[in-house]
Structure 1
Protein backbone atom coordinates (compact mmCIF):
# COMPACT_ATOMS: atom_id res chain seq x y z
CA UNK A 1 0.00 0.00 0.00
CA UNK A 2 1.13 3.56 -0.67
CA UNK A 3 -0.12 6.58 -2.62
CA UNK A 4 -2.53 4.22 -4.43
CA UNK A 5 -4.67 4.43 -1.29
CA UNK A 6 -5.61 7.96 -2.35
CA UNK A 7 -8.65 8.55 -4.60
CA UNK A 8 -7.81 8.59 -8.29
CA UNK A 9 -9.13 12.14 -8.75
CA UNK A 10 -6.62 13.40 -6.18
CA UNK A 11 -3.75 11.59 -7.87
CA UNK A 12 -4.73 13.25 -11.13
CA UNK A 13 -4.88 16.77 -9.66
CA UNK A 14 -1.81 16.64 -7.40
CA UNK A 15 1.72 15.32 -7.67
CA UNK A 16 2.00 13.10 -4.61
CA UNK A 17 5.09 11.81 -2.83
CA UNK A 18 5.39 9.84 0.39
CA UNK A 19 8.24 8.96 2.72
CA UNK A 20 8.36 6.09 5.21
CA UNK A 21 4.86 4.69 4.50
CA UNK A 22 2.99 7.87 5.45
CA UNK A 23 -0.13 6.92 3.46
CA UNK A 24 -0.52 3.53 5.12
CA UNK A 25 -0.09 5.01 8.59
CA UNK A 26 -2.65 7.74 7.96
CA UNK A 27 -5.12 5.36 6.31
CA UNK A 28 -4.94 2.69 9.00
CA UNK A 29 -4.32 4.63 12.23
CA UNK A 30 -5.66 8.13 11.56
CA UNK A 31 -8.59 7.50 9.24
CA UNK A 32 -10.50 10.61 10.32
CA UNK A 33 -7.58 12.93 9.56
CA UNK A 34 -6.91 11.03 6.33
CA UNK A 35 -10.50 11.60 5.22
CA UNK A 36 -10.37 15.29 6.15
CA UNK A 37 -7.16 15.88 4.19
CA UNK A 38 -8.76 14.21 1.16
CA UNK A 39 -11.93 16.26 1.61
CA UNK A 40 -10.15 19.63 1.74
CA UNK A 41 -7.80 18.86 -1.15
CA UNK A 42 -10.62 17.48 -3.30
CA UNK A 43 -12.54 20.76 -2.89
CA UNK A 44 -9.52 23.02 -3.45
CA UNK A 45 -9.14 24.90 -6.72
CA UNK A 46 -6.43 27.28 -7.88
CA UNK A 47 -8.41 30.37 -8.85
CA UNK A 48 -6.91 32.89 -11.23
CA UNK A 49 -8.14 35.84 -9.18
CA UNK A 50 -6.41 34.48 -6.08
CA UNK A 51 -2.97 33.87 -7.57
CA UNK A 52 -2.90 37.13 -9.54
CA UNK A 53 -3.82 39.31 -6.55
CA UNK A 54 -1.00 40.54 -4.35
CA UNK A 55 -1.13 39.42 -0.74
CA UNK A 56 0.48 40.28 2.58
CA UNK A 57 2.55 38.03 4.77
CA UNK A 58 0.46 34.98 3.95
CA UNK A 59 -0.93 34.18 0.50
CA UNK A 60 -4.63 33.78 -0.14
CA UNK A 61 -3.93 30.23 -1.29
CA UNK A 62 -2.47 29.25 2.09
CA UNK A 63 -5.10 31.22 3.98
CA UNK A 64 -7.92 29.47 2.13
CA UNK A 65 -6.52 26.01 2.89
CA UNK A 66 -5.87 26.97 6.52
CA UNK A 67 -9.46 28.13 6.85
CA UNK A 68 -10.96 24.91 5.57
CA UNK A 69 -8.78 22.75 7.76
CA UNK A 70 -9.75 25.02 10.66
CA UNK A 71 -13.43 24.35 10.00
CA UNK A 72 -12.66 20.67 10.55
CA UNK A 73 -10.95 21.23 13.87
CA UNK A 74 -7.31 21.57 12.80
CA UNK A 75 -5.44 24.27 14.73
CA UNK A 76 -2.21 26.24 14.47
CA UNK A 77 0.02 24.89 17.20
CA UNK A 78 3.45 25.46 18.70
CA UNK A 79 5.18 23.30 21.28
CA UNK A 80 7.28 24.18 24.32
CA UNK A 81 10.15 21.76 24.87
CA UNK A 82 12.03 21.43 28.15
CA UNK A 83 15.43 19.73 28.42
CA UNK A 84 16.80 18.78 31.85
CA UNK A 85 20.60 18.75 32.07
CA UNK A 86 21.82 17.83 35.58
CA UNK A 87 18.85 19.57 37.12
CA UNK A 88 19.08 22.65 34.91
CA UNK A 89 15.96 23.02 32.80
CA UNK A 90 16.40 24.60 29.37
CA UNK A 91 13.23 25.70 27.60
CA UNK A 92 12.85 26.07 23.85
CA UNK A 93 9.94 26.50 21.50
CA UNK A 94 9.33 25.08 18.05
CA UNK A 95 8.02 27.11 15.16
CA UNK A 96 4.26 26.69 14.97
CA UNK A 97 2.68 24.06 12.76
CA UNK A 98 0.22 25.62 10.30
CA UNK A 99 -2.34 22.92 11.10
CA UNK A 100 -2.34 20.18 13.73
CA UNK A 101 -4.82 17.53 14.75
CA UNK A 102 -4.47 14.24 16.62
CA UNK A 103 -0.71 13.75 16.12
CA UNK A 104 -0.76 14.88 12.48
CA UNK A 105 1.26 17.99 11.59
CA UNK A 106 0.49 19.82 8.34
CA UNK A 107 2.38 22.67 6.65
CA UNK A 108 1.24 24.79 3.70
CA UNK A 109 4.07 26.28 1.63
CA UNK A 110 2.74 28.13 -1.39
CA UNK A 111 5.34 30.85 -2.06
CA UNK A 112 7.88 31.19 0.75
CA UNK A 113 11.67 31.07 0.57
CA UNK A 114 12.74 27.47 0.04
CA UNK A 115 14.57 27.53 3.40
CA UNK A 116 11.12 27.14 4.95
CA UNK A 117 11.25 23.50 3.81
CA UNK A 118 14.36 22.97 5.96
CA UNK A 119 12.47 24.43 8.90
CA UNK A 120 9.41 22.25 8.25
CA UNK A 121 11.40 19.04 7.88
CA UNK A 122 13.49 19.76 10.97
CA UNK A 123 10.29 20.46 12.90
CA UNK A 124 8.75 17.16 11.76
CA UNK A 125 11.93 15.29 12.67
CA UNK A 126 12.08 16.80 16.17
CA UNK A 127 8.39 16.34 16.97
CA UNK A 128 8.43 12.77 15.66
CA UNK A 129 11.50 11.91 17.74
CA UNK A 130 9.75 13.35 20.80
CA UNK A 131 6.67 11.20 20.04
CA UNK A 132 4.47 14.24 19.52
CA UNK A 133 3.46 13.64 15.89
CA UNK A 134 3.12 10.43 13.88
CA UNK A 135 3.00 11.88 10.34
CA UNK A 136 3.93 15.17 8.71
CA UNK A 137 2.08 16.52 5.66
CA UNK A 138 3.25 19.29 3.33
CA UNK A 139 1.10 21.00 0.69
CA UNK A 140 3.09 23.04 -1.82
CA UNK A 141 3.07 23.71 -5.58
CA UNK A 142 4.51 21.80 -8.53
CA UNK A 143 7.65 23.24 -10.06
CA UNK A 144 6.03 23.20 -13.52
CA UNK A 145 3.47 25.87 -12.59
CA UNK A 146 6.08 28.54 -13.35
CA UNK A 147 6.15 27.68 -17.08
CA UNK A 148 2.67 26.23 -17.42
CA UNK A 149 0.70 28.91 -15.58
CA UNK A 150 2.52 31.82 -13.95
CA UNK A 151 4.47 33.07 -16.96
CA UNK A 152 1.47 32.88 -19.34
CA UNK A 153 -0.52 34.89 -16.76
CA UNK A 154 2.27 37.47 -16.52
CA UNK A 155 3.02 36.79 -12.85
CA UNK A 156 6.19 34.73 -13.20
CA UNK A 157 8.18 37.35 -11.32
CA UNK A 158 6.21 36.65 -8.15
CA UNK A 159 7.38 33.04 -8.02
CA UNK A 160 11.16 32.85 -8.05
CA UNK A 161 13.33 29.78 -8.51
CA UNK A 162 14.33 29.83 -4.83
CA UNK A 163 10.79 29.74 -3.49
CA UNK A 164 8.84 26.76 -2.18
CA UNK A 165 7.97 24.17 -4.82
CA UNK A 166 8.40 20.41 -5.23
CA UNK A 167 11.69 20.75 -7.07
CA UNK A 168 13.20 22.19 -3.88
CA UNK A 169 11.41 19.92 -1.39
CA UNK A 170 11.84 16.38 -2.73
CA UNK A 171 15.68 16.32 -2.68
CA UNK A 172 15.62 17.61 0.90
CA UNK A 173 13.06 15.00 1.93
CA UNK A 174 14.76 12.11 0.15
CA UNK A 175 18.07 13.24 1.66
CA UNK A 176 16.69 12.53 5.13
CA UNK A 177 15.77 16.08 6.13
CA UNK A 178 12.75 14.80 8.06
CA UNK A 179 14.69 12.08 9.89
CA UNK A 180 12.48 9.11 10.70
CA UNK A 181 9.19 11.01 10.42
CA UNK A 182 6.76 9.61 7.81
CA UNK A 183 5.89 12.45 5.40
CA UNK A 184 3.19 12.87 2.76
CA UNK A 185 3.56 15.63 0.16
CA UNK A 186 0.97 17.11 -2.20
CA UNK A 187 2.07 19.27 -5.13
CA UNK A 188 -0.63 21.59 -6.53
CA UNK A 189 -0.69 21.16 -10.32
CA UNK A 190 -2.13 23.24 -13.16
CA UNK A 191 -5.05 20.79 -13.38
CA UNK A 192 -6.51 22.62 -10.38
CA UNK A 193 -6.47 25.99 -12.15
CA UNK A 194 -9.82 27.74 -12.65
CA UNK A 195 -10.25 31.09 -14.49
CA UNK A 196 -12.73 33.00 -12.35
CA UNK A 197 -13.96 36.31 -10.98
CA UNK A 198 -14.69 35.73 -7.30
CA UNK A 199 -12.04 33.23 -6.25
CA UNK A 200 -14.31 31.75 -3.61
CA UNK A 201 -13.27 28.20 -2.80
CA UNK A 202 -16.20 25.84 -2.12
CA UNK A 203 -16.49 24.26 1.28
CA UNK A 204 -15.02 20.75 1.47
CA UNK A 205 -17.42 17.86 1.32
CA UNK A 206 -18.20 15.96 4.50
CA UNK A 207 -15.47 13.36 5.02
CA UNK A 208 -16.62 9.85 4.26
CA UNK A 209 -17.28 7.54 7.17
CA UNK A 210 -14.94 4.60 7.16
CA UNK A 211 -16.76 1.32 7.48
CA UNK A 212 -16.08 -0.58 10.64
CA UNK A 213 -14.19 -3.82 10.16
Structure 2
Protein backbone atom coordinates (compact mmCIF):
# COMPACT_ATOMS: atom_id res chain seq x y z
CA UNK A 1 0.00 0.00 0.00
CA UNK A 2 1.16 3.48 -0.72
CA UNK A 3 1.17 6.24 1.82
CA UNK A 4 -1.79 7.84 0.11
CA UNK A 5 -3.89 4.69 0.26
CA UNK A 6 -3.06 4.30 3.93
CA UNK A 7 -4.32 7.76 4.82
CA UNK A 8 -7.68 7.19 3.10
CA UNK A 9 -9.54 5.10 5.64
CA UNK A 10 -13.27 4.50 5.42
CA UNK A 11 -15.19 7.34 7.07
CA UNK A 12 -17.78 6.44 9.63
CA UNK A 13 -21.10 8.13 8.53
CA UNK A 14 -22.31 8.61 12.10
CA UNK A 15 -19.10 10.32 13.08
CA UNK A 16 -19.32 12.60 10.06
CA UNK A 17 -22.96 13.53 10.77
CA UNK A 18 -22.14 14.25 14.39
CA UNK A 19 -19.30 16.51 13.40
CA UNK A 20 -21.44 18.39 10.88
CA UNK A 21 -24.25 18.90 13.34
CA UNK A 22 -21.97 20.56 15.82
CA UNK A 23 -19.88 22.83 13.66
CA UNK A 24 -18.70 23.29 10.12
CA UNK A 25 -15.05 24.18 9.61
CA UNK A 26 -14.26 26.59 6.79
CA UNK A 27 -10.64 27.61 6.37
CA UNK A 28 -9.89 26.72 9.92
CA UNK A 29 -12.93 28.54 11.39
CA UNK A 30 -15.78 26.71 13.08
CA UNK A 31 -19.27 27.79 11.87
CA UNK A 32 -22.58 26.85 13.43
CA UNK A 33 -24.93 25.06 10.91
CA UNK A 34 -27.90 27.15 12.15
CA UNK A 35 -25.98 30.25 11.08
CA UNK A 36 -25.49 28.76 7.60
CA UNK A 37 -29.23 28.03 7.33
CA UNK A 38 -29.98 31.60 8.43
CA UNK A 39 -27.60 32.96 5.79
CA UNK A 40 -29.21 30.79 3.10
CA UNK A 41 -32.65 32.13 4.07
CA UNK A 42 -31.38 35.70 3.93
CA UNK A 43 -29.81 35.03 0.53
CA UNK A 44 -33.11 33.61 -0.76
CA UNK A 45 -35.01 36.64 0.57
CA UNK A 46 -32.50 39.01 -1.03
CA UNK A 47 -32.72 37.13 -4.34
CA UNK A 48 -36.54 37.28 -4.28
CA UNK A 49 -36.45 40.98 -3.45
CA UNK A 50 -33.97 41.61 -6.30
CA UNK A 51 -36.29 39.78 -8.74
CA UNK A 52 -39.27 41.86 -7.55
CA UNK A 53 -37.30 45.10 -7.87
CA UNK A 54 -36.18 44.16 -11.38
CA UNK A 55 -39.78 43.38 -12.33
CA UNK A 56 -40.96 46.68 -10.85
CA UNK A 57 -38.23 48.57 -12.75
CA UNK A 58 -39.20 46.90 -16.03
CA UNK A 59 -42.86 47.78 -15.46
CA UNK A 60 -41.95 51.38 -14.71
CA UNK A 61 -39.90 51.62 -17.92
CA UNK A 62 -42.82 50.15 -19.91
CA UNK A 63 -45.29 52.58 -18.32
CA UNK A 64 -43.02 55.52 -19.10
CA UNK A 65 -42.71 54.40 -22.72
CA UNK A 66 -46.50 54.08 -23.00
CA UNK A 67 -46.94 57.52 -21.42
CA UNK A 68 -44.41 59.01 -23.84
CA UNK A 69 -46.26 57.47 -26.80
CA UNK A 70 -49.67 58.67 -25.56
CA UNK A 71 -48.32 62.16 -24.96
CA UNK A 72 -46.83 62.29 -28.45
CA UNK A 73 -50.20 61.22 -29.93
CA UNK A 74 -52.05 63.82 -27.85
CA UNK A 75 -49.69 66.56 -29.02
CA UNK A 76 -50.08 65.42 -32.63
CA UNK A 77 -53.89 65.46 -32.31
CA UNK A 78 -53.79 68.86 -30.61
CA UNK A 79 -51.80 70.26 -33.54
CA UNK A 80 -53.96 68.51 -36.10
CA UNK A 81 -57.33 69.53 -34.67
CA UNK A 82 -56.52 72.84 -32.95
CA UNK A 83 -58.41 74.72 -35.65
CA UNK A 84 -61.61 72.68 -35.27
CA UNK A 85 -63.54 75.31 -33.30
CA UNK A 86 -62.30 78.16 -35.47
CA UNK A 87 -63.11 76.24 -38.68
CA UNK A 88 -66.60 75.44 -37.38
CA UNK A 89 -67.23 79.17 -36.94
CA UNK A 90 -66.17 79.86 -40.56
CA UNK A 91 -68.54 77.28 -42.08
CA UNK A 92 -71.67 79.48 -41.89
CA UNK A 93 -69.78 82.21 -43.76
CA UNK A 94 -68.98 79.77 -46.56
CA UNK A 95 -72.62 78.63 -46.59
CA UNK A 96 -73.88 82.22 -46.85
CA UNK A 97 -71.53 83.02 -49.74
CA UNK A 98 -72.74 79.89 -51.59
CA UNK A 99 -76.40 80.78 -50.95
CA UNK A 100 -75.81 84.28 -52.26
CA UNK A 101 -74.52 82.85 -55.54
CA UNK A 102 -77.44 80.41 -55.77
CA UNK A 103 -80.25 82.95 -55.31
CA UNK A 104 -78.73 85.94 -57.09
CA UNK A 105 -80.20 87.15 -60.39
CA UNK A 106 -77.37 86.30 -62.80
CA UNK A 107 -79.14 87.97 -65.71
CA UNK A 108 -79.08 91.41 -64.08
CA UNK A 109 -76.07 93.30 -65.47
CA UNK A 110 -75.92 95.62 -62.45
CA UNK A 111 -75.44 92.66 -60.07
CA UNK A 112 -72.83 90.77 -62.14
CA UNK A 113 -69.76 92.59 -60.73
CA UNK A 114 -71.02 92.00 -57.20
CA UNK A 115 -71.56 88.29 -57.91
CA UNK A 116 -68.06 87.99 -59.36
CA UNK A 117 -66.67 89.51 -56.15
CA UNK A 118 -68.71 87.09 -54.01
CA UNK A 119 -67.55 84.17 -56.17
CA UNK A 120 -63.89 85.21 -55.86
CA UNK A 121 -64.30 85.66 -52.10
CA UNK A 122 -65.86 82.21 -51.80
CA UNK A 123 -63.06 80.57 -53.82
CA UNK A 124 -60.38 82.40 -51.85
CA UNK A 125 -61.92 81.44 -48.52
CA UNK A 126 -62.43 77.80 -49.57
CA UNK A 127 -58.78 77.61 -50.70
CA UNK A 128 -57.60 79.20 -47.44
CA UNK A 129 -59.43 76.74 -45.20
CA UNK A 130 -58.38 73.82 -47.46
CA UNK A 131 -54.73 74.70 -46.75
CA UNK A 132 -55.41 73.91 -43.09
CA UNK A 133 -57.18 70.60 -43.81
CA UNK A 134 -60.83 71.75 -43.99
CA UNK A 135 -62.48 69.97 -46.92
CA UNK A 136 -66.11 70.13 -48.09
CA UNK A 137 -68.28 67.00 -48.12
CA UNK A 138 -70.65 67.19 -51.09
CA UNK A 139 -72.16 63.68 -51.42
CA UNK A 140 -74.56 64.28 -54.32
CA UNK A 141 -75.25 60.91 -56.00
CA UNK A 142 -73.27 58.89 -53.44
CA UNK A 143 -74.57 56.22 -51.08
CA UNK A 144 -75.74 57.52 -47.72
CA UNK A 145 -72.99 57.29 -45.06
CA UNK A 146 -74.23 57.96 -41.50
CA UNK A 147 -70.67 58.85 -40.46
CA UNK A 148 -70.58 61.80 -42.88
CA UNK A 149 -74.20 62.58 -43.71
CA UNK A 150 -77.29 63.57 -41.79
CA UNK A 151 -80.50 62.45 -43.49
CA UNK A 152 -83.14 65.18 -43.32
CA UNK A 153 -85.76 63.25 -45.30
CA UNK A 154 -86.32 60.14 -47.40
CA UNK A 155 -88.16 60.26 -50.71
CA UNK A 156 -89.28 57.44 -52.95
CA UNK A 157 -87.33 57.55 -56.18
CA UNK A 158 -87.44 54.63 -58.63
CA UNK A 159 -84.71 56.18 -60.82
CA UNK A 160 -81.88 55.69 -58.30
CA UNK A 161 -80.83 52.93 -55.94
CA UNK A 162 -82.21 53.06 -52.38
CA UNK A 163 -80.10 54.97 -49.83
CA UNK A 164 -78.60 57.25 -52.48
CA UNK A 165 -78.18 60.95 -51.74
CA UNK A 166 -80.47 62.74 -54.19
CA UNK A 167 -80.13 66.27 -52.80
CA UNK A 168 -77.67 68.14 -50.59
CA UNK A 169 -79.31 70.82 -48.48
CA UNK A 170 -76.10 71.86 -46.74
CA UNK A 171 -72.54 70.73 -47.42
CA UNK A 172 -70.65 68.99 -44.69
CA UNK A 173 -67.01 69.59 -43.78
CA UNK A 174 -64.17 67.57 -42.37
CA UNK A 175 -60.92 68.66 -40.77
CA UNK A 176 -57.96 66.36 -41.39
CA UNK A 177 -60.27 63.39 -41.91
CA UNK A 178 -62.54 64.10 -38.91
CA UNK A 179 -66.11 65.23 -39.66
CA UNK A 180 -66.75 68.59 -38.03
CA UNK A 181 -70.18 69.00 -39.61
CA UNK A 182 -72.13 66.27 -41.43
CA UNK A 183 -73.75 67.07 -44.75
CA UNK A 184 -77.52 67.55 -44.54
CA UNK A 185 -79.00 65.39 -47.29
CA UNK A 186 -82.14 63.99 -48.80
CA UNK A 187 -81.98 60.22 -49.35
CA UNK A 188 -83.87 58.01 -51.78
CA UNK A 189 -85.85 55.01 -50.67
CA UNK A 190 -87.34 52.13 -52.58
CA UNK A 191 -90.88 52.73 -53.83
CA UNK A 192 -93.55 50.95 -51.84
CA UNK A 193 -95.51 48.33 -53.72
CA UNK A 194 -98.93 49.63 -54.60
CA UNK A 195 -101.78 47.46 -53.46
CA UNK A 196 -104.57 46.83 -55.97
CA UNK A 197 -107.90 46.53 -54.24
CA UNK A 198 -110.76 45.33 -56.41
CA UNK A 199 -114.29 46.19 -55.42
- TM above 0.5, yes or no, is no
For the pair shown, which has the larger CA radius of gyration, 1 or 2?
A: 2
Query: What TM-score results when the alignment is normalised by the length of structure 2?
Result: 0.24
